[in-house]
Structure 1
């Protein structure tokens, strides 16, 4: 039976009412000073209709090789004021303008039939997303970190999500959340996910340990030179930033550096290991970083010699050496300090010192394989 005119009006009105329940977010709010108490005060990402959604103008991005954080998955975003853009840098972090807001949301896929604290240990991101945002029926939000580029430099803000997964609040002193990693074979690993406090944020994000000014780590050209599946199609991330007006000065792509994907079996072992060191260790282990006194440099472009730890004795003895004599002994991962420290989750022994409470088994296996493939030997110390 055909619908009456009155019935049609009723359906149209109901649809309009339901559609009006989901109002668009207010524009992104850049806070030039102060410490906003809620993540929603920024209007960068917000929860609506069971999804963590990105605001208009908020661009997601990813890294070729990400920093390991207890197997957490991460949603990274960039936003800039209208008319502003970052300047391309071949080696250092892109030169972002005042007003830039970078966010990184740490989350886990939920374990089927598990409790709220049961999360998956997996590299599979395929079920996480709903459009450009996250499907909250499938993921457990833990924290969102904001880096804001103010007039006097970058400022870090750690926000922790509530159990209702509706809002994240500022936790300047950090937080600890007990979780259980559930592997594909059903094995379980209890651990404490540690949200860093503001001073710990600075310890990793300070590119120069003298000034201790905070800088982003991930958005360097070599880390983000990769394709991303945007809402309007797949495109190289650097070219997409140019397209939306967020990047200027990008040279021909053939001349842009690119880190390898650490777990890509088609990439050379050396390139994969170097990329893993670069993102996980290089922010501290460089001539200006917090670990500059060690003489160990693990950043992009370091020669594969003593500067990178090959046959280099440690600057200090102690538990962190495991009684090993050199950072890297070619062909002998079991005699090398670096894999010994990567294999530990004990404070005072493990490396990196912050950002994890578990051992990255797959990353450790990569570094061990790389050391095992190194030619040569070390002269014993007498």
Structure 2
């Protein structure tokens, strides 16, 4: 079956679309595009006309997505069942997952991408894939009752939209204020005393913050290093998660078929530019709450720590390398730069080794990272605290990712020991 990929993919995409459209009507009955282009068949492309949030469309309400800020998530008609944003995307929506994901208070994330008919996503070796104007990325956050049983009971909290309009990306947060619909939460939302049981059987209770729409730019933007008063460059808003290295993994599709996501997108005519030598595409290490950190070799530990630091920190802690000239992440000037494609052996100081903390610091933690000594490394403290003055990441979490903290602690402790200069 693997040796006859295109027919299998076409059939799979067709079955997904029929399920999303609610049945098996013929293409002449419902306007479906051919199976070979089904994956990016978005039931029409944005017309450019001013949309209406209450428009009665047969598929995705593209015009509203491109022009309006609607009060309810259901106004955009992204899901066949408006009360369930975790499955059943409207025709053209494709589910995806990441090999190592940004931690967000133990929530499970349901991700879908919608690309208008006739447009494709362009491959990028290092940065987020280049999504065309009209793209909509949805991410729904649901807190499981028990993180060891994520297919069990869960509380759906919010759905975030990233919409690529003609003037750039726009972020909109929607809070599930009822079981039937999510409402716009421009000013954010705070939920108190939520709880879950983690993989170690511990009950965790914490507050959860749905971000303000304005907060999204702090993580999603790269900023210019202004060189003078006449430098008018503006910050650039970018997606964070959907990079080739995190999509380069198998995914179980709705009909049970397991297939590599990048190959699935390419063979479904959603992704262009995927290298012919697929083995040359970078593949980030897999890390999740089930990972047995104690069993990892030093090489595996290094790979997983790099992936974790990249997805959780490097959207801010980055500079040069693959960015446009003159741009950096919001914390790129801090000296800690944690991109996945940055080699530790070339510049340990970029990973915080024996580097004085720039952002405040704390007594008892003289350097960001002290190899072999996680207990006195400021980076480790920042990952393990919920104190707003010190925690990292600053946004997106109210509790400590204990499994992730163990990973980074183990990574620091196994680094080749170095004698950092005494603090004056």
Where does structure 2 lack aligned partners over 5 or more consecutive residues? 1-20, 24-56, 226-233, 320-327
Alignment counterpart, residue 207 of structure 2, candidates 170, 192, 208: 192
Aligned length: 338
Query: In the TM superposition, what is the alpha-carbon distance from 1:186 to its structure 2 partner?
Result: 6.0
Alignment counterpart, residue 282 of structure 1, candidates 298, 301, 314: 314
Structure 1: distance between partners of 2:370 and 2:247: 32
Cross-structure match for 2:260: 236
TM-score, structure 1 as length reference: 0.83
Structure 2: distance between partners of 1:262 and 1:301: 17
Query: In the TM superposition, what is the alpha-carbon distance from 1:56 to its structure 2 partner?
Result: 1.7
Structure 1: distance between partners of 2:243 and 2:148: 22
Where does structure 1 lack aligned partners over 5 or more consecutive residues? 1-21, 110-118, 129-137
Structure 2: distance between partners of 1:295 and 1:275: 19
Alignment counterpart, residue 206 of structure 1, candidates 221, 231, 239: 221
Cross-structure match for 1:132: none
Q: Deviations over 1:275-307 (max 9, x none)?
A: 000000000001211112211101112232101
Q: Give the 3-state SS of the residue equivalent to 2:222 in structure 1.
A: coil
Is 1:373 paired with 2:405?
Answer: no
Check whether the contact 2:143–2:196 (CA below 8 A) recurs between aligned residues: no
Cross-structure match for 1:312: 355
Q: CA RMSD in A?
A: 2.1
Cross-structure match for 2:172: 157
Q: Give the 3-state SS of the residue equivalent to 1:64 in structure 2.
A: coil
Structure 1: distance between partners of 2:98 and 2:268: 19
Alignment counterpart, residue 70 of structure 2, candidates 36, 59, 66: 36
Check whether the contact 2:74–2:82 (CA below 8 A) recurs between aligned residues: no
Alignment counterpart, residue 177 of structure 1, candidates 191, 200, 209: 191
Query: In the TM superposition, what is the alpha-carbon distance from 1:376 to its structure 2 partner?
Result: 2.5
Check whether the contact 2:95–2:112 (CA below 8 A) recurs between aligned residues: yes
User: Relative to 1, partners in 2 of residues 1:346 and 1:151: Cα closer, same or farther, differing over 3 Å?
Assistant: same
User: Relative to 1, partners in 2 of residues 1:176 and 1:321: Cα closer, same or farther, differing over 3 Å?
Assistant: same
Structure 1: distance between partners of 2:74 and 2:185: 14
Structure 2: distance between partners of 1:185 and 1:269: 20
User: Relative to 1, partners in 2 of residues 1:185 and 1:223: Cα closer, same or farther, differing over 3 Å?
Assistant: closer
User: Relative to 1, partners in 2 of residues 1:200 and 1:236: Cα closer, same or farther, differing over 3 Å?
Assistant: same
Q: Deviations over 1:214-273 (max 9, x none)?
A: 211011101111000012411100111112221000002111011101244567000000
Query: In the TM superposition, what is the alpha-carbon distance from 1:187 to its structure 2 partner?
Result: 4.2
Structure 1: distance between partners of 2:265 and 2:148: 26
Is 1:219 paired with 2:261?
Answer: no
